[in-house]
Amino acid sequence: MSAPVAPIDLHHQGVERVIGAYLVETSDGTALFDCGPTSALPALEAGLQERGVDFADVRHLLLSHIHLDHAGAAGTIVREHPHVQVHVSAIGAPHLVDPSRLEASARRLYGHAFDELWGELALVPEANVRIVGDEVLGLACFASPGHASHHVCFAHEDGTLYAGDAAGVRIAPSRLVMPPTPPPDVDVTAWYATLDELERRAPKRLALVHFGVFDDIERHLGELRDRLGEWEHVVEDGATQDEFVERAHAGLGELDGDDLQAVERAMPMWQSYAGLKRWVEKVKPSRSPATASA
């Protein structure tokens, strides 16, 4: 009997249940689904060792997308373990091979906190990059834009859907599901289509990087869809950042201090506001009805 699917807690910034990574058995050996940032590599290595795995045993990285909390350590890992192959979307791949624009954008966003939060952002040699198709190492793979244009999900034959951020943020054991909507390329319309696709595929469980594994699929995705629409309307109605954060927090009333801290580190509410504000003001109005319904 296979071991249950469970995240390796990367203890980002010393806080539990913020970022997780997953060991995945594939048709070509052991893979890691998302790897977190370089700043969390010691915790990742310790977590692997607790499961009897060394990085020498990991043959592949399966990346949901290239945001630093999911993929920031990829280049460092490959530099130290050159046998590792990195599987990523065609949109994300160039930013792994040359992360200079990604780093510049992130440094503008995080300022002096960048190095402490994320650590080194090393390049991945092009020879180690594999562009994903419909199948990757025996797993189904499909585009899942909304949170990011370069997002993909991986579906294992055991019924686990490795969802990255496409299925939102939910800090186990809470039932609350939230949509992380950071800039620059949140697309609410595309996210609704992705949620439809997740439901169509009918997984047995969702493996979230932020944070945990959940099997109440219909309720989970329904709540995510509802909250995404609610937050979009709050911003569309002219809420300021402070008003948005206050209303968002008011909707998370059941979370205690530790859970709320994990949520704010996994998806800072000011970033969700910034992403939705950009969507409402710059992207959504420019779409024709035909494009919006595509």
Give me the residues paired with residue 89 across strands: none
Residue 117 lies in a domain: yes
Digit-coded pLDDT (tens) for 157-189: 999 999 999 999 999 898 999 999 999 889 999
Tell me what pLDDT residue 258 has: 77
Q: Supply the CATH number for residue 101's domain.
A: 3.60.15.10
Residue 220 token pair: 């989970």
Q: Where are the beta strands (DSSP E) in the chain?
A: 8-9, 20-26, 29-33, 58-62, 85-88, 129-131, 135-136, 139-143, 152-155, 160-164, 205-208, 212-214
Q: What is the DSSP letter of 169?
A: B
Residue 1 lies in a domain: no
Domain count, the chain: 1
By three-state DSSP, how is residue 107 classified?
helix
> Structural domain of residue 227, as residue ranges?
8-285
Q: What band does 4 get if pLDDT is binned at 50, 70 and 90?
A: confident
Phi, psi of 96 (to 5 degrees): -80, -40
High-pLDDT (> 90) share of the chain, %:
83
Residue 196 lies in a domain: yes
Residue 44 token pair: 């990742």
Residue 132 lies in a domain: yes
Residue 3 lies in a domain: no
Determine the average pLDDT of the residues in 185-209: 96
Residue 44 lies in a domain: yes
Of 13-27, 180-194, 250-264, give the lowest mean pLDDT range.
250-264
Residue 2 lies in a domain: no
High-pLDDT (> 70) share of the chain, %:
95
Determine the average pLDDT of the residues in 60-75: 97
| 285: CB partners within 8 A, 6+ apart | none
Residue 294 lies in a domain: no
237 pLDDT higher than 90 = yes
